[in-house]
Structure 1
């Protein structure tokens, strides 16, 4: 019985070896490294946001004529209170000039401070980096040489060889 078992094992071993010899894939190239291959580019992207801004209201009296006139009248009345005789006329005229200038500047400051708040959309273009995988960079070793090739699909641990050439398609 022991002989039968040994004989069966021997036949099975020869049978497996014969199967392997019949189905030997032949030479192959050993894959030593696989890295994803990517394509990268810049793409413009517009980003907008709402911002609060303060604006000056439109000026109706650009030369501050109203302020100058009111200032001149008030200055003239005040200047008229001083002096006597022809000096009163000089004081009135000087008061009118000084009052006109002061009224002009007062109206200018009021106009500059006359503002309103509004919301505006502000946009800017930002360049964003995009990328996509376009295959694999495969490094393999065959016949003592190391080569790198681009492949569409991930190859596994080895590449087939036909007629002495590595098949990479």
Structure 2
């Protein structure tokens, strides 16, 4: 009886150890890796929207009113002196007779010239001409920032068919019309 128990135990142990080996052999063909081609059914780009600042310089002509001073000139006293001498001489000529008239004319001319010269000095030796506001233009610039939007393709949603079944994946490039697939426990892109 002891012998029978030993044989039974040996058979049970052998069966237990050989079952995984048989199971593995049976699954060997099922898990073999192979490569094939699938048909691409649809490709949709994955778009990422982003914005970035774009700066540029904008220049324009700004009207500016500025004061333009005139120029300062020295006053000419000759005209006043001569006018005074002529008027004084004419008045002196009316006063006397004979040689006295000549002396009165000369004296009137000298006194009239002195009075005319003195009168012109009272108005100052210098005078200012012109002057006033003038419209001018200055170029002014400023920085403007605009936001420019970008639509960047960051990947592709790919739908493909392999042996009648539909699969989906995400890829970083456009696959074209066909997609190489790895076939083992499932169907996945090989690239």
TM-score band (shorter)?
0.3 to 0.5
TM-score by length of 1: 0.43
- Give the structure with the larger strand fraction: 2
TM-score by length of 2: 0.39
Of structures 1 and 2, the larger Rg is shown by: 2
